[in-house]
């Protein structure tokens, strides 16, 4: 069932008489189109990992009206908070926002016995609230990151949050991410240089060992592989 773009329905929409398909477009063009179509109603949920710093760097050039949102769980690494401050200085044209972390002590230790609930309280529900007035949210996810992300499209309908989801780096490799960072001098989290390819909350993130996949350091020793934002 095909519906018109801009109406929140469980379909991606119609563009120029055909089904919208941005998968063949380069990341910069995807973000430029997202800026044109959604404007201030687009929110970039930025984790300040390597992929997200690439998206941030492109957004400031092609769609600076996009809101940048950090899901502040209250448990992020100090390096992540410092990178946020660095990004504010480097990209003054972008509007940076944070969700409010839980008060100290509230849900303390929840990650130990119910990490899914911890993620839902600290990330999923705050994002749901932040997206209430949005028409689209932008992510830095890539297909090669995990089986749950292997079918990600560059523009898709997000059933969980009821709006469009834009994944401009869906077809990028890890090597392409770092090639971009090196070529543009894009700032990045120094934890990447210490064996952390994927960076989340302090209690649930460890360095990746040689031979492990890029997300092996997240919720290590548990079957959990996603925080709930992407599946």
User: Above 90 in pLDDT, residue 165?
Assistant: yes
Q: Which two tokens stand for residue 15?
A: 């563009």
The mean pLDDT value for 210-230 works out to 88
Q: Which two tokens stand for residue 136?
A: 């689209």
CB atoms within 10 A of CB 56: 23
Is the pTM of the predicted complex or chain greater than 0.95? no
60-107 pLDDT, tens digit per residue, is 999 999 999 999 999 999 999 999 999 999 999 999 999 998 887 788
Residues 6+ apart with CB under 8 A from 56: 44, 46, 68, 87, 91, 94, 186
In DSSP notation, 107-168 reads TTTHHHH-HHHHHIIIIIHHHHHHTTT-SEEE----GGG-GGGTT--SEEEETTTTEEEE-T
Contact between residue 40 and residue 34 where contact means Cβ atoms under 8 Å apart: no
Q: Which two tokens stand for residue 39?
A: 């404007």
Q: Which two tokens stand for residue 211?
A: 């031979």
Predicted confidence at residue 17, as pLDDT, reads 35
Q: How many angstroms separate the CA atoms of 41 and 33, rounded?
A: 13
Query: Which alpha helices (H) appear in the chain, and where do they start and end?
Result: 27-38, 50-62, 78-90, 110-113, 115-119, 125-130, 174-184
User: Above 70 in pLDDT, residue 9?
Assistant: no
77-90 pLDDT, tens digit per residue, is 999 999 999 999 99
What is the length of the chain?
231
**Fold adopted by 18-103+110-204:** Rossmann fold (3.40.50)
> Which residues are marked as active site?
227
Q: Max Cα separation, the chain?
A: 54
Counting residues of the chain whose pLDDT is more than 70, the rounded percentage is: 91
Q: How many angstroms separate the CA atoms of 14 and 1, rounded?
A: 11
11-30 pLDDT, tens digit per residue, is 444 443 344 789 999 999 99
Query: Which is more confident, 62 or 10?
Result: 62
The residue ranges of every structural domain in the chain are 18-103+110-204
Contact between residue 34 and residue 136 where contact means Cβ atoms under 8 Å apart: yes
The mean pLDDT value for 195-223 works out to 91
CB atoms within 10 A of CB 75: 19
Confidence label for 180 from pLDDT (cuts 50, 70 and 90): very high
User: Above 80 in pLDDT, residue 153?
Assistant: yes
Residues 6+ apart with CB under 8 A from 101: 72, 73, 74, 75, 122
**Distances in Å between the alpha carbon of 70 and those of 25, 43, 85?**
26, 10, 12
């Amino acid at each position: 069932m095909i519906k018109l773009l801009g109406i929140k329905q469980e379909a991606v929409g119609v563009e120029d008489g055909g089904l919208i398909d941005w998968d063949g477009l380069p990341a910069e063009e995807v973000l430029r189109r997202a800026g044109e179509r959604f404007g201030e109603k687009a929110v970039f949920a930025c984790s300040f990992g390597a992929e997200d710093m690439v998206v941030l760097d492109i957004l400031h050039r092609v769609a600076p009206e996009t809101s940048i949102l950090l899901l502040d769980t209250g448990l992020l690494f100090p390096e992540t908070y410092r990178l946020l401050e660095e990004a504010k200085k480097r990209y003054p044209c972008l509007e940076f926002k944070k969700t409010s972390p839980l008060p100290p002590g509230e849900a303390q230790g929840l990650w130990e016995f119910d990490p899914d609930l911890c993620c839902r309280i600290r990330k999923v529900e705050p994002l749901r609230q932040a997206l209430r007035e949005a028409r689209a949210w932008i992510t830095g996810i890539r297909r090669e990151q995990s089986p749950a992300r292997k079918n990600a499209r560059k523009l898709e309908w997000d059933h969980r949050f009821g709006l469009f989801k834009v994944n401009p780096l869906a077809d990028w490799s890890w090597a392409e991410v770092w090639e971009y960072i090196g070529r543009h001098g894009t700032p990045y989290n120094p934890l990447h240089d210490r064996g952390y390819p994927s960076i989340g909350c302090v209690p649930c993130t460890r360095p990746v060992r040689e031979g492990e996949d890029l997300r092996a350091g997240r919720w290590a020793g548990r079957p959990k592989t996603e925080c709930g934002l992407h599946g």
